[in-house]
Amino acid sequence: MSIPNSLSRRDPAVLLHPQTDWRALEETGAFAITGGEGVRIREESGQELIEGMSGLWCASLGFSEKRLVEAATKQMSQLPYEHVYSGMSHGPAVELAETLLGMAPAAMQKVFFACSGSEANDTIVRMIWYYNNALGRPRKKKMIARRRAFHGSTCVSGSLTGLPHLQSDFDLPLPGFVHTTAPHHYHEARPGEDEESFATRLAEELEELIIAEGGAECCAAFIAEPVMGAGGVILPPAGYFPKIKAVLDRYDMLMIADEVICGFCRTGNMWGSETFDIQPDFMTVAKALSSAYAPISAVMMTDRIYQVLADNSRRRGFFGHGFTYSAHPLSAAVALETLKIYAERDVLGHVRSVAPTFLAELRRFADHPLVGEARGTGLIGAIEVVADKATHRSFAPAAKVGARIAKAARDHGLITRAMGDSLGFCPPLIITAAEIREMFTRFGRALDEVHAGLSEGDRQAA
């Protein structure tokens, strides 16, 4: 129950929330958080919850890392702001770029900083258009993404996104942005089609789409998350990315790896590109870059791309794109300290040590009457509920079964996220095996509660 004059009740009077039903919020009030410790957060009434989603896939070091607070405080006292336009620079920007490239796949040679994954993906599209104009290829501009992908919320990155509920009434996607099939074997595979055959068919469909959109003359790049996050935590089928890369090479198209969620140990390797054998020309990173303690993102690129962009910047007089807060000293200092913590504490080793517990706990729900698929890798996963396990038939969206489970989980002390009827898990990388077991115990209570309360109409909806 909301308390009068609480944050929960004051919030709807003044604050507009992203991806929220504003009318519903007026009725219910907000869910206000007042503190955090480790993998747990505290709601204003005092309820303690395990943050099973690291906020929005991002608070990788949890909610009380003092070294990041100290890094921010120190930087604020030394140099609270300076830009990096027109050759201006500062220590945190240079040191962060050096450290990031030292961790990145060898092909990545230069870094451009922004403030969010949306801005970073938007920047890549602009860079690719600039790149092809510099090479005298003015028609080679079309971008191909995948249905169910999430790549951001600007007009450009929102056009790369492949989720209709984030595009309806916004007149998105813009012209020149097209989408191919999501690599979700559970729902998209044909009867009897194994993962390898499914991946081959998706590569063939991509090639057919490229040809239909004008081939090498018009199609510029393909963007993909190693694991699709907001689309439901979709893992690629076996052999998928090498098959996709072979198609892109035939049409001289660039490969963009959106590592905003998967980067920095999340999949059991430093990069999702390592886990799934992706060979990118561009990489986007954000979220865990600073453990979300300060807003920052980065675009990394190969030297081949950089040389063309740099030559064109000389012809044009400068590279005409950037942000006031690119490489903000505070954000860069916090990100630099985050990367130091990953290395010094062997966070990747810790992820690898607890991932088997995470995946075993996740997959034990596969036999539950409501669960169609339990999927994951490293410390990211999802449990998808279905109306019919045998046919994979989904519940009707109006039943809001996923949202009901997420609400019940919150009542039981767990934050998860409903993406349709897939419930996501992406806990802080510092989570222990005991905390993982407690997280899924709380989820199990919520799942059983909603299962018991489903009506016959809910069960038949599809």
Q: Give the CATH class of 68-344.
A: alpha beta
Q: Look at residue 456 in the predicted model and tell me its pLDDT.
A: 78
Q: What is the pLDDT of residues 296-343, one digit of tens each?
A: 999 999 999 999 999 999 999 999 999 999 999 999 999 999 999 999
Contacts of 196 (CB under 8 A, 6+ apart): 237, 238, 239
At CA 382, angle to CA 418 and CA 56, rounded to 5?
Answer: 55
Residue 2, pLDDT > 60, answer no
pLDDT, residue 5, reads 87
pLDDT tens track for 106-137:
999 999 999 999 999 999 999 999 999 999 99
Element (H, E) at 283: strand 282-285
The structural domains of the chain, with segments of one domain joined by +, span 31-64+346-460, 68-344
Return the pLDDT at 383: 98
Per-residue pLDDT tens over the stretch 207-262? 999 999 999 999 999 999 999 999 999 999 999 999 999 999 999 999 999 999 99
> What pLDDT sits at residue 277?
97
* CB-based contact 106:280 (threshold 8 Å): no
Residue located via tokens 């958080």: 33
User: With bands split at pLDDT 50, 70 and 90, how would you rate the model's confidence at 205?
Assistant: very high
Average pLDDT value for the chain: 96
pLDDT of residue 3: 66
Question: Would you place residue 1 in the very low, low, confident or very high pLDDT band (cuts 50, 70, 90)?
Answer: very low
Instruction: Please say if the pLDDT value at position 461 is more than 80.
Output: no
Domain at 31-64+346-460: CATH code: 3.90.1150.10
Q: Is the peptide bond before 173 cis (omega within 30 degrees of 0)?
A: yes
pLDDT in tens, 177-188: 999 999 999 999
Q: In the predicted model, what is the mean pLDDT of residues 434-439?
A: 98
Q: Give the mean model confidence (pLDDT) for residues 21-38.
A: 96
Confidence of residue 455 (pLDDT cuts 50, 70, 90): confident
pLDDT at 444 over 90: yes
Q: Which residues contact 204 (CB under 8 A, 6 or more apart)?
A: none
Helices then strands, counting H and E runs in the chain, come out as 17, 15
Q: What is the mean pLDDT of residues 261-284?
A: 98
User: How many Cβ atoms are within 10 Å of 169's Cβ, its own excluded?
Assistant: 5
Q: Is the pLDDT of residue 4 over 70?
A: no
Over residues 347-385, the pLDDT tens digits come to: 999 999 999 999 999 999 999 999 999 999 999 999 999
